[in-house]
A and B are shown apart, each in its own frame.
Chain A
């Protein structure tokens, strides 16, 4: 078995809207190892997005422990969490979330800007990343000049900018046609197999989940099924 990268112990998230309290996650125990390729499934409102936000350090749990690479996230300051998002995690969103009126290249450079990497090194790395996703000729295009699949590839290049170990993708194929979806999923597979990234994909589509090695199913804030389809790295 490979190293533990994420460990959650009795993780609970309660949204307090004043009058009603909504428990989005109920005492989750979850361990994810380095190099795993995971799909998190579940209907909307099942808690999968909340889990995603907590894994991505965009949100903090109400109770329980979350260890990221052995470090308790609850102990970290907001600035330290920003650094975690910057260095350890790469986000890919359903709606791409590229910054409009900013070229593909500049979008890819953005995490490196916040990582205080020099302009030249930034540009060089961004071009290389765009090349890896087959978009070197689109570097200076604006997001609205790109197709959905191209946008998502830019977003993946951006997620990889600071060489994070974990790639978190929230419904990455939700806005794509089936052919683009397959292409995007192949990129994730390749990242997992060749680069050794831990890839976590939230989806409600079984077809998409089938690309992964382990499918965790959520319902009402709890894990109802955790099926390991193949051992990581045994392709």
Chain B
């Protein structure tokens, strides 16, 4: 088949027409690089989402009132009461590892001359055993006695400690806040650190994320519209969520879907599905440029066949068979687009890496995608090169030799 000779021949021909070959490849380069960049960005984002959820705990779950049903109005005792939480805990001792009312508050504070805003998230004891990405630099997390004793305690981020107190170890300092209209001095019992997260930049907030005992944020009858749980991670989260909500509806004497749940797992699945669909959709649009690139290759190969008509005649007179000529032009168009594919792959990875570096995300490159992209581009070259190559191979040697 003279494959080796034809490859050398193709490379010589590409080299002697550098500018033309490059412009021909450009379509393929743009197509492949955009497909690679988009799929890599998609894969990287998926990886980040996965890690983010893992840090948060894949067994994290919220149970709350179904908004669609409560729009028609609801009564005070439809809210989730402390005794309902106790009932759930008692009913599912194995499957509920952590359950507290979902309460949070925001307050401005002033320490010395420094103004700041704190977002206080109400937690129960041992919250950091479930939310695994917190690292304590000083002190401790909110504990059982803080919660049960409604103690005015607070756990702050390293960044808050540095900015508000100008030191990392702020344990023992106090932060003055307003909770439910009441001034309170909260004592810092711990300083923590979390790794940088995608959501930091997504939900940019000037307030410092802090944790306080949920009990100090509660008012009145201590009812809540939502509860936060950590469940038995070995079990199917959907099945658990359904069991919890239907039990809650039963004890509250409401229709089965009056309370609904959302698990971290189901959220992640939804986000991944959106990301996946998005990258396939954009990737498919990018793939259209591959077809355009292929047409470019066909066009230039047709020009090349015409230009080299005489050469084809000479080759035929020297004993080249139809198949030899076909292979010569087919291999040339395949090599042009495969080189375009390789350049496009490198460019795509660079684009993805640069793009991801702005979002501070490690780029994920699937080797399968690279193999697929390069072989697909060679396929494009073969498909669009076939017609010009056949045209060359079918030339009549006498006509071709006479061609000026």
Q: Which residues of A contact B (CB under 8 A)?
A: 53, 56, 58-59, 78-79, 82-83, 85-87, 91, 93, 97-102, 110-111, 113-116, 158, 162
The answer, among B2, B16, B310, B316, for a CB contact under 8 Å with A82, is B316
What are some 8 contacts across the A-B interface (CB < 8 A)? Answer: A82-B316, A85-B316, A86-B318, A99-B311, A101-B12, A102-B12, A114-B2, A114-B321
The answer to whether B319 touches A79, judged by C-beta atoms less than 8 angstroms apart, is: no
Knowing A58-B398, A59-B398, A97-B401 are in contact, say whether A91-B317 is a contact too (CB < 8 A).
Answer: yes
> Hey, which chain B residues are within 8 Å of A97, CB to CB?
310, 313-314, 317, 401
Cβ–Cβ contact A158 & B322, under 8 A: no
CB-nearest residue of chain A to B323: A79
Q: Nearest chain B CB to A115's CB is how many angstroms away?
A: 7
CA distance A93 to B397 in the complex (A): 13
Nearest B residue to A52 via CB reads B398
CB-CB < 8 A to A78: which residues of B?
A: 321-322
For the side of the interface on B, what is the size category?
Answer: 20 to 34
A101-B16, A113-B2 known; 6 new pairs, CB 8 Å cut-off, are A53-B398, A85-B316, A86-B318, A111-B318, A111-B319, A114-B320
B318 adjacent to A83 (CB under 8 Å): no
**A79, B318: Cβ atoms under 8 Å?**
no
**Known contacts A99-B311, A99-B314, A86 near B319 by CB under 8 Å:** yes
A59 CA to B396 CA in the complex, in Å?
Answer: 9
Question: Is B311 in contact with A82, judged by CB distance below 8 angstroms?
Answer: no
Q: How many angstroms between the C-alpha atoms of A147 and B320 in the bound complex?
A: 27
Chain A residues whose CB sits within 8 angstroms of the CB of B52 once the complex forms:
none
Asked if B318 contacts A158 (CB within 8 A), the reply is yes
A-chain residues with CB within 8 Å of residue B316 when the two chains form the complex: 58, 82, 85
- Chain B residues near A58: list those with CB within 8 A: 316-317, 397-398, 401
Indicate whether B5 reaches chain A with its CB closer than 8 angstroms. yes
User: Nearest-CB distance from A101 to chain B (Å)?
Assistant: 5
**Residue of chain B at shortest CB distance from A82:** B321
Contacting A at CB under 8 A, from B312-341, are 313-324
> Cβ of B317 and Cβ of A85 under 8 Å apart?
yes
**Which B residues lie within 8 Å of A59 (CB)?**
398
Residues of B within 8 A of A100 (CB): 311
Which residues from 262 to 320 on chain B have a C-beta closer than 8 Å to any C-beta of chain A? Answer: 310-311, 313-320
Q: How far is it, in angstroms, between the C-alpha of A111 and the C-alpha of B320 when the chains are bound?
A: 8
Of the residues B313, B318, B398, contact of A110 by C-beta under 8 Å = B318
In the complex the two chains form, is B319's CB within 8 Å of A114's CB? yes
Residues of B within 8 A of A82 (CB): 316, 319-322
* A75 CA / B133 CA spacing, docked (Å): 83
Return B4 CB to nearest CB of chain A, in Å.
Answer: 8
Q: In whole angstroms, how far apart are the Cα atoms of A79 and B401 in the complex?
A: 19
A97 to B403, CA, bound (A): 11
Which residues of chain A are near B313, meaning CB under 8 Å?
97
Cβ of B401 to closest chain A Cβ, rounded Å: 7
Cβ–Cβ < 8 Å partners of B319 in chain A: 82-83, 85-87, 111, 114-115, 162
Q: Which residues of B contact A116 (CB under 8 A)?
A: 2
* Closest Cβ–Cβ distance, residue B10 to chain A (whole Å): 13
- Find the A residue at minimum CB distance from B317: A91
- A110 x B322 contact (CB < 8 A): no
Measured CB to CB, the closest approach of chain B to A49, in angstroms, equals 9
CA distance A87 to B320 in the complex (A): 11
A208 → B minimal CB distance (Å):
21
List of A residues within 8 angstroms of B12 by Cβ: 101-102
Chain A: minimal CB distance from B58 (Å): 61
Residues from chain B with Cβ under 8 Å of A158 in the complex: 318
Return the chain A residue nearest B311 by Cβ: A99
Taking the nearest CB of chain B, how far is it from the CB of A27, in angstroms? 21
Shortest Cβ gap from A29 to chain B (Å): 23
In the complex, A114→B315 CA distance in Å?
A: 9
Q: Is the CB of A93 within 8 A of B318?
A: no
- A102 to B318 alpha-carbon distance, docked (Å): 15
Tell me, rounded to whole Å, the shortest Cβ–Cβ distance linking B70 to chain A: 80
